[in-house]
A and B are shown apart, each in its own frame.
Chain A
């Protein structure tokens, strides 16, 4: 069991299969949030992501220009919020959790980013018909750092009146 405030929640399947499929097959844009010791929020582009086999751990792949304040903030307080979207449908979820560790990127991380980039270009091509393909590909930069975090909560973030509703753990848990 895992303690979340006064709640005790099961430790299995924190990221259910339907979210794994969303992350690995459809999502094509992501952004992460941290905050420093003075509670100033900082943003970090995320160019790729992967779900660990335990279905509790997510790895966010961060491009170098978006690493300022990242490790310092994570080592200060551990708070990490990752919002992942499928563009252009805007289906969006936010994964909030606790920083575990960071590491340099590996070859298979680059392959993950390549797949995200391909999905993004395929999705956006019908909208930006006059933009050259290299420009569309440049939207998804290469990774520089991998941040692993334990997912504790998942929120619906698709724009609309339901945005912000917590879906994992459910309200009944």
Chain B
């Protein structure tokens, strides 16, 4: 079944509020981390930034499934994405666009020189769920 990201999620991905990602190692240990960027690639794919050699990076290479939570505080809506890691890109238009966004985020948060994009990890969207705050209060 083809799952498509709705247009209304795009501004949420760009709102600058950190996302949350949950992965699981090959031996079954979950890991929960903060993400600085979820990049819209097309209706069925997103890219996540690979900045450091982290547990998350190792996990998705052992077990490709991932869970991502993004939120829109002003719009009072949260989104849940179930993803599957596909491949990693170290050059090209997606990498370049993410690199520029990372630098902008780093500058805005006083982390210039700390955030450096190593790769753009491309994920296929398996499921997308919209969750208004009113349903979670």
Residue of A nearest to B69 (CB): A43
Known pairs A128-B73, A159-B36; A41 contacts B133 (CB<8 A): no
The segment from A12-20, A48-56, A81-89, A102-110 that touches chain B is A81-89
The segment from B1-9, B22-30, B93-101 that touches chain A is B22-30
Decide if A138 touches B76 in the complex (CB within 8 Å). yes
**Contact string, B42-72, partner A, CB cutoff 8 A, digits 1/0?**
0000000000101100000001011111010
B86 at the interface (CB under 8 A from A): no
Give the residues in chain A near B131, CB-CB below 8 Å: 65
Decide if B111 touches A159 in the complex (CB within 8 Å). yes
Residue of B nearest to A31 (CB): B20
The one of B69, B73, B78, B133 in contact with A124, judged by C-beta atoms closer than 8 angstroms, is B73
Tally of B interface residues using CB under 8 Å: 40
A63 at the interface (CB under 8 A from B): yes
Main secondary structure of the interface of A (DSSP, over half): mixed
Known pairs A81-B31, A85-B34; A65 contacts B69 (CB<8 A): no
Residue of B nearest to A161 (CB): B52
The one of B23, B54, B74 in contact with A41, judged by C-beta atoms closer than 8 angstroms, is B23
B128 at the interface (CB under 8 A from A): no
Give the residues in chain B near A34, CB-CB below 8 Å: 22, 30
How far apart are A102's CB and chain B's nearest CB, in angstroms?
A: 17
How far apart are A86's CB and chain B's nearest CB, in angstroms?
A: 11
Decide if A92 touches B34 in the complex (CB within 8 Å). yes
> On chain A, which size bracket covers the interface?
35 or more
Decide if A139 touches B18 in the complex (CB within 8 Å). no
**Contact string, A1-43, partner B, CB cutoff 8 A, digits 1/0?**
0000000000000000000000000000001111100011111
Decide if B30 touches A35 in the complex (CB within 8 Å). yes
Give the residues in chain A near B54, CB-CB below 8 Å: 163-164
25 contacts between A and B (CB under 8 A): A33-B24, A35-B24, A39-B28, A41-B66, A41-B67, A42-B22, A43-B69, A63-B136, A65-B135, A79-B29, A80-B30, A82-B32, A83-B20, A90-B34, A96-B29, A128-B73, A135-B73, A135-B133, A138-B137, A159-B114, A159-B115, A160-B111, A161-B52, A161-B114, A163-B52
Besides A41-B30, A79-B28, A79-B30, 8 other CB < 8 A contacts? Answer: A33-B30, A39-B63, A42-B22, A92-B34, A135-B74, A139-B73, A139-B76, A141-B137
Which B residues are within 8 Å of any A CB, using their own CB? 18, 20, 22-24, 26, 28-34, 36, 52, 54-55, 63, 65-69, 71, 73-74, 76, 78, 80, 82, 109, 111, 114-115, 131, 133-137
